[in-house]
Amino acid sequence: MSHAGFAIPPRRRAALVAGATGLIGRALVERMLAERSVGAVHALVRSPAPALSMLSGVNQVIVDYARGLPELPAADDAFCCLGTTIKVAGSQAAFRAVDHDAVVAFARAARAAGALRFGVVSALGANPKSGVFYNRVKGEMEADVMALGFDSVIIVRPSLLTGDRAALDQPVRTGERLAALVAGPLGALIPKSVRPIEADTVARALLRAMLQAEPGAWRFESAALHDLGRPA
């Protein structure tokens, strides 16, 4: 209902974010706070994150994925940026516990909280039938998320990430260190499909894709992310 000179603004959307302290997750949260259509941002963290406490508008939800997730705040959208490497995790089983089990557990909890749209960071080469363990786990995660009944699922598959992980008090990953070395002088010579990509570019692309999401499951390969995540 509106009157001359007065209009009721559209309801702002509430969002859940898992992996909000990582490279992509932190960039995503900051961009969401600047997005006029987004209201509440609930960030799932394993322990209080001082960096997130400094951001006005972020509600931190303390969780333990290994013990099961609590009932989450009501939300319209959910974003998952959880991810590790086998080297960091320490074993294939520990890697799967994060990159598959925790992601799917979050997706289920988000769906129970009312989320109708789900965006998730996967990886280049994800395929449930892959002979490569890493790619197979990522592909199985995608399939299991898509089976949960969301109206829209946005899957982004970035190549090697670049970004300042040390600034987030996280160990620098070997692959990302190499990506940073080649992204500068050789970046333009590398095809977009495999070219290293800035975490902020991925975050921008994921948010844009979610805000304009239509029903169905949509995958965005790394080449598309370079374009969709380009600064306005």
- Segment 191-216, tens digit of pLDDT: 888 888 999 999 999 999 999 999 99
pLDDT per position as a tens digit, 172-196: 655 655 655 555 666 667 788 888 8
CA angle 7/13/16 to nearest 5° reads 165
Q: Is the pLDDT of residue 29 over 80?
A: yes
List, in order of start, the domains of the chain with CATH numbers: 13-226 (3.40.50.720)
> Which residue type, as a one-letter code, is found at position 14?
A
Sequence-distant (≥ 6) Cβ neighbours of residue 181 within 8 angstroms: none
pLDDT, tens only, 56-99: 899 999 999 999 999 999 999 999 999 998 988 999 999 999 99
Beta carbons of 176 and 163 less than 8 angstroms apart: yes
Element (H, E) at 225: helix 222-228
